[in-house]
Amino acid sequence: MSELVRTLRPIRWAVSPRSSYDVVIVGGGGHGLATAYYLATRHGIKNVAVLEADYIASGNTGRNTTIIRANYGLPEAVRFYQRSLEMYQGLEDETGAAIQHETRGIVWIAHTEPAMRTERARCLMNSASGARTVMITPTELKELVPQIDLTGAGRYPVLGASHHLDGATARHDRVAWAYAAGAAERGVDILQHTPVTGLLRDGDRIVGVSTPNGPIAASVVLSAVGGRVTALAAQAGVRLPVRTHPLHAFVTNNYAQGFGSIVASTELMCYVSQTERGQMLIGAEFDTQPSYSRQSSFAALRGYAYKVTRLFPFMRDLRILRTWAGICDISADFSPIMGATGVDGFLVTTGWGTWGFKAIPAAGEAMAELIATGRTPALIEPFGHDRFARDHVLADQGSAGTR
Amino acid sequence: MLWLTCPNCGRRPVDEFSYGGEVPAVPDGITDPDERDVDLVWMWGNVDGPTTERWFHAAGCRRWTTVKRDTSLDVELA
């Protein structure tokens, strides 16, 4: 048995739900499980249930490209994601479970002068807000990633790049398991295959959820749902600025050389990294039209393959081994939506689009603090649902790494 | 991949179209004028199932058309 497997503790699954809890969390992905973990460990709130319709991490937690970074374009966002990045660095010590965290740096390539200006601004913004990002020349990029074609097949020349030094990856399902095991050990009930079919109301207040196993009462219901959050929020009478779009990704067969960094191109809208097994992992932009379909299409794969081989000709010799899609809740301003909804007893952590995995620790910590104290932590205060009505949106599409 | 039927050009791939949003934009249940404004600008129905949508045939006849689509499977409905 490998050392990594030995660190995984068996999860103490709940057999059946109790009739009432202090907190019911809908959605057993990273965000829901991390919130439950921090409620139990930091605030001593252990009368908590996490309800998952399928198995834990079956949604976008287990479908993303596992990139952890804080090179965002707004001070509020950089501070938030930097907190998350730092929490990831200490997550193995905190939970005692190996999550295969590896700091390898992430490079964002600029192919035009306007893109160079954007990346220079990103470096200044990041440095001012606590994240380490510096500009590098094409020569320095070639040293980091020798496989790159700096001419971009003659069409997408590399003018320079921003290098986010603390960019990292981690095994996404292990992150969910680490939080699940830690929460369950402390008495949190994690119920798999328990879909929430509705919300229970008492006047204007949400007082619980209904499931096929019967109703469950709760003082607080937190929606940590990915994908089908709009339908759940609608039951509470909450409209969300969220559209759900599928995003495809694929891995190739084993590439038997090291690929040192995570590489992204905002102009080509694709990102490349190497998994622990040596496979090349590629993701790109989401589908233009909203849908809930997880069917990968040949057209999408062909498009991604075209883009990625402009920069990395060696990948023409690789084969696509596996492909999948996740359905991403793209918020109107490309920033997450966390906190109160205006309906008593109903909180959301949503709008995680293509930027949810990297935010799991910080968002879980902040949502747990909000539930435990009733006060919104300063770190997530700008990300409230009410920002749209107040015209204080956090438009940051240029940092999403996707369309 | 999704294909849509344009009344002028016939069945064409989705790459030729621009998505114009769902119909109706604001539910009738919202009556406060300010709330209707916020909803019109920011909120979406994001339906999981049959929807009615506007699409613009940008790389074709450059006309708007109304399309019925099942968002659960991402297919056009007759």
Class of domain A12-65+172-241+333-399: alpha beta
- The C-alpha angle A178, A184, A190, rounded to 5 degrees, equals 100
For residue A355, how far is the Cα from the chain centroid?
4
- B/e letters for A260-299, b = 16+ CB within 10 Å, e = fewer, are ebbbbbbbbbbbbbbbeeebbbbbbbbbebbbbbbebbee
Q: E strands of A55-204, at which residues? A: 67-68, 102-103, 106-110, 133-136, 160-164, 168-169, 189-191, 198-202
CB-CB neighbors (< 8 A) of B23 in chain A: none
Q: Which domain does B29 fall in, by range? A: 3-76
Does the CB of A7 have a partner CB in chain B at under 8 Å? no
The domain tally of chain B equals 1
pTM of the complete model: 0.95
- pLDDT tens string for chain A (403 positions)? 456 777 778 899 998 999 999 999 999 999 999 999 999 999 999 999 999 999 999 999 999 999 999 999 999 999 999 999 999 999 999 999 999 999 999 999 999 999 999 999 999 999 999 999 999 999 999 999 999 999 999 999 999 999 999 999 999 999 999 999 999 999 999 999 999 999 999 999 999 999 999 999 999 999 999 999 999 999 999 999 999 999 999 999 999 999 989 999 988 888 999 998 899 999 988 998 999 999 888 888 999 999 999 999 999 999 999 999 999 999 999 999 999 999 999 999 999 999 999 999 999 999 999 999 999 999 999 999 999 999 999 999 988 877 6
| B35 Cα to chain A: minimum distance (Å) | 8
User: Options 3.40.50.720, 3.40.1160.10, 3.30.9.10, 3.30.565.10; which CATH number does A103-166+243-331 get?
Assistant: 3.30.9.10
CATH at residue B70: 3.30.2270.10
| Count of CB pairs separated by less than 8 Å, A with B | 67
- Interface test mutation site (partner A, options B37, B44, B51, max chain A beta carbons within 10 A): B44
CB neighbours (10 Å) of residue B8? 11
Q: How far off is chain A from B39, nearest CA to CA, in Å?
A: 8
Task: Quote the CA–CA distance of A148 and A173 in Å, as a whole number.
Answer: 30
Contact list, B52 vs chain A (CB under 8 Å): none
Residue spans per domain, chain A: 12-65+172-241+333-399, 103-166+243-331
- How close B41 gets to chain A, by Cα (Å)? 9
Does A195 contact B at CB distance below 8 Å?
no
